[in-house]
Amino acid sequence: MSRITPQSEDFSQWYLDIVKEAELADYSKVKGCMVIKPYGYAIWENMQKDLDRRIKEAGVKNVYFPLFIPESLLQREKDHVEGFAPECAVVTHGGGKELAEKLIVRPTSETIMYDTFSDWIQSYRDLPLLINQWANVVRWEMRTRPFLRTTEFLWQEGHTVHKDKAGADEEAHRALNMYIDFDRESLALPVLTGKKSDKEKFAGALYTLSTEALAKDGRAIQAGTSHNLGTTFAKSFNIQYQSEEGKLEDVWQTSWGVSTRLVGTLIVCHGDDKGLKMPPKIAPIQVVIVPIFRNDEDKTAILDAAKQVVSDLKNFRVEIDNRDGQTPGYKFAQWEVKGVPIRLEIGPRDLENNSCIVARRDTSEKETYELSELFTVIPKLLDEIQDNLYEEALNFQKENTRKVDSYDEFKTVLEEKGGFILAGWCGSEDCEQKIQDETKATIRVIDEEEHIGKCILCGAEAKQRVYFAKAY
Amino acid sequence: MSRITPQSEDFSQWYLDIVKEAELADYSKVKGCMVIKPYGYAIWENMQKDLDRRIKEAGVKNVYFPLFIPESLLQREKDHVEGFAPECAVVTHGGGKELAEKLIVRPTSETIMYDTFSDWIQSYRDLPLLINQWANVVRWEMRTRPFLRTTEFLWQEGHTVHKDKAGADEEAHRALNMYIDFDRESLALPVLTGKKSDKEKFAGALYTLSTEALAKDGRAIQAGTSHNLGTTFAKSFNIQYQSEEGKLEDVWQTSWGVSTRLVGTLIVCHGDDKGLKMPPKIAPIQVVIVPIFRNDEDKTAILDAAKQVVSDLKNFRVEIDNRDGQTPGYKFAQWEVKGVPIRLEIGPRDLENNSCIVARRDTSEKETYELSELFTVIPKLLDEIQDNLYEEALNFQKENTRKVDSYDEFKTVLEEKGGFILAGWCGSEDCEQKIQDETKATIRVIDEEEHIGKCILCGAEAKQRVYFAKAY
C-alpha cells in the first residue's frame, strides 16, 4: 500500500489516492471513462438496492429505454438540445454502413422517452405515469475525475407525467424528499436543499430542486436533482390527454436522478487521512475480523471463533481476513482505507478470555467485549456509527455555512474558509455570472424567495437569499 | 384488448401479439431497439435478482467496465474482431469534435476488460479472478424481434481468469450448471446442453457450452452460453502470471452470459393461445385478486376481504385488480395474457361463505377454497404450478426430440415435426454448412464426441453425434 497524501496537503491528490488504495475504481483506455472495481461497485449496488426500494414504494415502476437517441428527437426541444449537444457522443456508423440518421448516445433520456409517452398517454385515466430507469449515460467531459465527473456514468432517472402543475410540483418535491431521506438515513449525509437559479437549472426545466452536500475541502457537491419540467416537453413532443371534462390538455412532467457521483460524494464528505469512512447502512463490509496468531494451533482455534462470530452476525455483512503473508498492522491499515465501520481483532489471549477487541473506524476507539455479547453489541454499534457520521457531517456543514452582507466579506470568507455562503442577490443573471467569473462561486440553491437585504454585488434590493459556494 | 393470433395460425404473429397485449415491450424510433415496459422489465428484474444471487454465491464479484471500446483494442484479437466487426455501432464524434480514434459501442466486453486484467494480474496469488457485469450491449442486427433479437440488449457477462486449463474447464462448466439450475428452478425450462461445433462457437473461444430450450413452434432457442477462452486472449492482451515456481505463464479464461432474450424464451416455451404462462418463481405478480361486486356495499366488504388475503400472503407478490369500468371477464382475460399463475375471484356469494374461487393459469382448473386456508393453499399451489410448467415443457421437449439415421429421414422430420434431431455427423464444416444451406437446420450442441453411426450427409463414419434444429 502506498502513502496517502494528507487532505491538508493536496485534497485532490488525497481523493485520487483513496480511489486507488481503497480499490474503488481504475482508469481505462477510454478517455474520461472509469472501471468500477468490485469494492466500488458493491457500494453502488447497496445504494441502488436502498433507493430502488424507496422508488418502488412510491409506486414508480422500472423500465428500460434505448441507449441511442435519433438526432432529430434530441433536437425537438430547443433549450434541452442547447444544453446537451456540446456534450454528446455520436454514432455515425452501424453494421458497417454510414447511418441515414446519426444516433446520440443518451446524455439523459427525456427525448427518447417522451416521444413514446405521447403514444402511451391519451386520457386522464393514464395519469399519473410514474417510471424510472437504471442506466448508463454519456456526457463528453473535458476534465474528469473518477466518480465525481466521468464521461460515462451510471444513474437512475425517474420520469413522471401528471395532469397539472400541482401534480408535478408534488412529485418533484416527493423525489427531492426521497433523496434527502436517503442521503440522511443511508449515506449519513446532511444536505442543503432548494431551487436552483435559472442559470443553473436543468436544460428545459421550469425549475430544478437540488440536494447539495459539503465536501471536507469546503466545496459544494450536487448530490441529486429533481426537475419540474412544466409543459415544455409536452409541447415539443405533443403529449396531451383528454381531461374528465373532455378537453385536450398538455401534461405536466418531472424528472429526477442520482448517479455514481454519490460514491465520490461519500468519499469527499466522510473521508479522512486514513481513508474512507463507510456509513454502515451501505458499507459492502460492515465488520471485518482480523485474526492474530503466532502458530497453526492458534490459527485453527481463532478461525473457529471468527466463524462463530460470522454465524452470530449472520444478518450483517461480515468478513474474515485470513490472508497469509500479511501482518495484522498491514491489514488494519488496509481496512481503514476501505472505511469498514468495525474491526474485530481476535488474538490468542483474547480467545483465552472469550473476548475480542472491537475497533471503530469513525472514532478510532477500541474496546474489549466478550465474544458472546457481540450479537447484541455490534448492531448497536453500527447504528451509533451511522448516527455519528451524520452528526459529524452535520456539524461540519453548520460550522462551514456563513452569512455575509458585503461582497468583500463574501470574497474573504470564500477564499479563507470556503463552505456555503448565504448572501443577498438581486436576481439578475449578470450579477450571478460576474460573481462566478470573479470568484468561481456559483449559486447552489435559493434559500428564500423573498426580499431580504441587498445584492452583495450590485447593492440593489435582494430579491432572493441564496447559498453560494465553489462546487465540484 | 385485441385478438391474439392462434399459435397454429401464425406463430411469429402470435409472439408479437403477446409482447404487445401482455405489455412487455414497445417499439421505439431507434431501429431494432425496444422499450421494455414495466411488466416486461419486472420479469427481467426477477431473473436478475435470482441469477445475481447464484453468481455471488459462486464468489464472483460485480464490476462495471466502460461502454466504449477503442477500435484498436477490439482489433487486438483476430478471430474475435472478425466475429463482431460486422455488427458494431461506431462512435466517431464526441463533444463536438471528430475523435482521434473511433470508439466501438461494446458488443461484448472481452477486449476492454482483458486489457485491464493484464494490469490486475501479476502473480498466481491474483488468481482466480472472478468478475461479472450487468450491462447493455449493442450488436447491429438486420432482422430484429422484441427480446429474441434486438440491436441493444441487456445481459450479464461473467469473466474469469485461471491458472490452467483445468481451472477454466471447471469454471466454464460451473457457469453452465448454474444456468441449467436457474433455467430449471426459476424459469421452469428444461434445456439441452453440450458443446457447440467450431462453426457455432464464440468468436475467439476454445469451446462454447450452450443451453438450448425448445420453443413451441419446434425451433431451438439458445438460452445461455459459457466459453472456455483458452489462452487466446491471454496472448493477445499479454495477461501472464508468475507461477508458484516463478515461471511466467499465460492465464486461462472463461466468459459466460445470459440476456433479456430469456424473456422471449419464456414466451415461446411456455405461452399458449391465451397468452403467457409465468413460472411463479419469477412472475411479477403471482396472485391476482379480482373482486366481483354488484353494488358499493358489496364492493367495500369484498375489498376488505381481498386486503386481508394480501396481508395473509404478505411474502408473495399479490395484487388486487380494483379497476372500475372493466368487467370481470375482461380482467380475467387480461391477467391470462399476462400469465399470472393464480387468479382469485371473490364475489358476494363467495364472501357469504368466507370462500373464494382459485383459478390456475396453467391448467385452467378452478376450485373453491375457504379464505382462511389460502395462506397454506397458495404457496403449495404456486409450487405445483412451477413444477407443472417444467413437466409440460419437459414432455414437449422429449416428444420433439427424435433420432434419425438418414438425410431423407432428417429432412422429413425437420419439415413435418421440427424439434431437436439427433444425428451422426462426420465432423466436417462442409457437411455442417451444406445441411444448413439446404435445410436451415444448424448443429445446436454436440451430444457425444464418439464414433456413433454415419454422417447423415456424406455417409462417412460419424465422429460425433449431434443435435440439429432450426433455431431462433
Residue B206 maps to which CATH number? 3.30.930.10
Nearest-angstrom CA–CA distance, B242 and A340? 31
Q: Is B21 left (phi over 0), alpha (psi -120 to 50) or beta?
A: alpha
Contacts of A33 in chain B (CB under 8 A): 66-68
Which of A30, A62, A159, A324 is the mutation pick for testing B, counting most B CBs within 10 A?
Answer: A30
Q: Contact B254/B226 with Cβ under 8 angstroms?
A: yes
Contacts of A35 in chain B (CB under 8 A): 63-66, 116
Q: Would residue A252 count as lying in a domain?
A: yes
Contact A88 B68 (CB under 8 A): no
Q: Does residue B432 register a pLDDT over 80? A: yes
Q: Find residue A153's DSSP bridge partners.
A: A137
Contacts of A91 in chain B (CB under 8 A): 89-92, 105
Contact A29 B63 (CB under 8 A): no
Residues 6+ apart with CB under 8 A from A19: A25, A40, A146, A147, A267
| Tens-place pLDDT, residues B141-171 | 889 999 999 999 999 999 999 999 999 999 9
Contact B28 A66 (CB under 8 A): yes
Contacts of B154 in chain A (CB under 8 A): 64
Residue with cell 417522451: A114
What is the domain count for chain A?
3
Domain shared by A96 and A44, yes or no: yes
Q: Contact A71/A102 with Cβ under 8 angstroms?
A: yes
Grid cell digits, residue A147: 466518480
Domain shared by B240 and B345, yes or no: no
The ipTM of this complex is 0.96
Contacts of B61 in chain A (CB under 8 A): 38, 41-42
Of A356, A385, A414, the residue at which a domain comes to its end is A385
Distance linking the first and last C-alpha atoms of chain A: 28
Q: Contact A443/A193 with Cβ under 8 angstroms?
A: no
Nearest-angstrom CA–CA distance, A82 and A126? 31
Q: At what angle do helices A261-270 and A11-21 cross, to 10 degrees?
A: 120
Q: Does residue A335 register a pLDDT over 90? A: yes
Q: Does residue B1 register a pLDDT over 70? A: no
CA angle A106, A110, A113 (to 5 degrees): 90
Contacts of A138 in chain B (CB under 8 A): 67
Range list of β-strands (E), B392-431: 401-403, 420-425
Q: Of A104-108, A201-205, A285-289, A355-359, where does mean pLDDT reach its minimum?
A: A201-205
Of B270, B291, B325, the residue at which a domain comes to its end is B270
Domain shared by A306 and A199, yes or no: no
Residue with cell 485453527: A300
Given the DSSP bridges, would you call strands A248-250 and A240-242 parallel, antiparallel or unpaired? Answer: antiparallel
Confidence of residue B294 (pLDDT cuts 50, 70, 90): confident
Of B393, B415, B446, the residue at which a domain comes to its end is B393
Confidence of residue A1 (pLDDT cuts 50, 70, 90): low
Contact B26 A85 (CB under 8 A): no
- Residue A416, amino acid: E
Least Cα separation, residue A186 to chain B (angstroms): 21
Q: Contact B113/A26 with Cβ under 8 angstroms?
A: no
pLDDT at position A216? 97
Domain shared by B289 and B426, yes or no: no
Q: Would residue A437 count as lying in a domain?
A: yes
Q: Does residue A403 register a pLDDT over 90? A: yes
Least Cα separation, residue B184 to chain A (angstroms): 26
Contact B30 A103 (CB under 8 A): yes
Exposed e or buried b for every residue in A140-174, given b needs 16+ CB within 10 A?
bbeebbbbbbbbbbbbbbbbbbbbeeebbbbbbeb
Domain shared by B102 and B203, yes or no: yes
Q: Would residue A266 count as lying in a domain?
A: yes
Contact B26 A62 (CB under 8 A): no
Least Cα separation, residue B458 to chain A (angstroms): 36
pLDDT at position B77? 87
Contacts of B41 in chain A (CB under 8 A): 61-64
Q: Report the residue from A28, A38, A116 with minimal CB separation from B26.
A: A116
Grid cell digits, residue A72: 432529430
Q: Does residue B449 register a pLDDT over 90? A: no
Q: Does residue B346 register a pLDDT over 90? A: yes
Domain shared by A351 and A226, yes or no: no
Domain shared by A180 and A329, yes or no: no
Q: Does residue B325 register a pLDDT over 80? A: yes
Domain shared by A91 and A183, yes or no: yes
Confidence of residue B267 (pLDDT cuts 50, 70, 90): very high
Contacts of A37 in chain B (CB under 8 A): 63
Q: Would residue B6 count as lying in a domain?
A: no
Q: Does residue B328 register a pLDDT over 80? A: yes
In CATH, what number is assigned to the domain containing residue A456? 3.30.110.30
pLDDT at position A184? 98
Q: Would residue A395 count as lying in a domain?
A: no
pLDDT at position B2? 75
Q: Would residue A95 count as lying in a domain?
A: yes
Among the listed residues B314, B331, B313, the one whose alpha carbon sits nearest the alpha carbon of residue B322: B331
Q: Find residue B133's DSSP bridge partners.
A: B157
Contacts of B152 in chain A (CB under 8 A): 66-68
pLDDT at position B221? 98
Domain shared by B129 and B67, yes or no: yes
Domain shared by A377 and A430, yes or no: no
Q: Report the residue from A95, A105, A136 with minimal CB separation from B91.
A: A105
Nearest-angstrom CA–CA distance, B410 and B405? 8
Name the closest residue on chain A to residue B284, using Cα atoms: A61
Name the closest residue on chain B to residue A96, using Cα atoms: B86
Name the closest residue on chain B to residue A131, using Cα atoms: B38
Range list of β-strands (E), B292-373: 318-320, 342-346, 355-360, 366-370
Q: Would residue A126 count as lying in a domain?
A: yes
pLDDT at position B142? 87
pLDDT mean over B361-370: 97
Grid cell digits, residue B387: 413444477
Among the listed residues B68, B182, B180, the one whose alpha carbon sits nearest the alpha carbon of residue B135: B68
Nearest-angstrom CA–CA distance, A44 and A267? 13
Q: Report the residue from A29, A115, A142 with minimal CB separation from B73.
A: A29
Contact B136 A68 (CB under 8 A): no
Nearest-angstrom CA–CA distance, A366 and A361? 9
Residues 6+ apart with CB under 8 A from A382: A280, A286, A287, A316, A341, A342
pLDDT at position A377? 97
Nearest-angstrom CA–CA distance, B34 and B13? 17
Domain shared by A151 and A52, yes or no: yes
Range of the domain at A316: 280-385
In CATH, what number is assigned to the domain containing residue B356? 3.40.50.800
Q: Would residue B464 count as lying in a domain?
A: yes
Among the listed residues A346, A322, A326, the one whose alpha carbon sits nearest the alpha carbon of residue A1: A326
Contact B35 A65 (CB under 8 A): yes
Least Cα separation, residue B363 to chain A (angstroms): 30
Q: Contact A263/A318 with Cβ under 8 angstroms?
A: no
Domain shared by B111 and B260, yes or no: yes
Grid cell digits, residue A51: 433507493
* Torsion angle in degrees (nearest 10) through CA of A198, A204, A209, A214: -70
Contact B26 A68 (CB under 8 A): no
Nearest-angstrom CA–CA distance, A186 and B219? 49
Nearest-angstrom CA–CA distance, A199 and A208? 10
Q: At what angle do helices B38-57 and B165-185 cross, to 10 degrees?
A: 140
Q: Contact A161/A121 with Cβ under 8 angstroms?
A: yes
Q: Contact B297/B261 with Cβ under 8 angstroms?
A: no
| Tens-place pLDDT, residues B170-228 | 999 999 999 999 999 999 999 999 999 999 999 889 999 999 999 999 999 999 999 99
pLDDT at position B423? 95
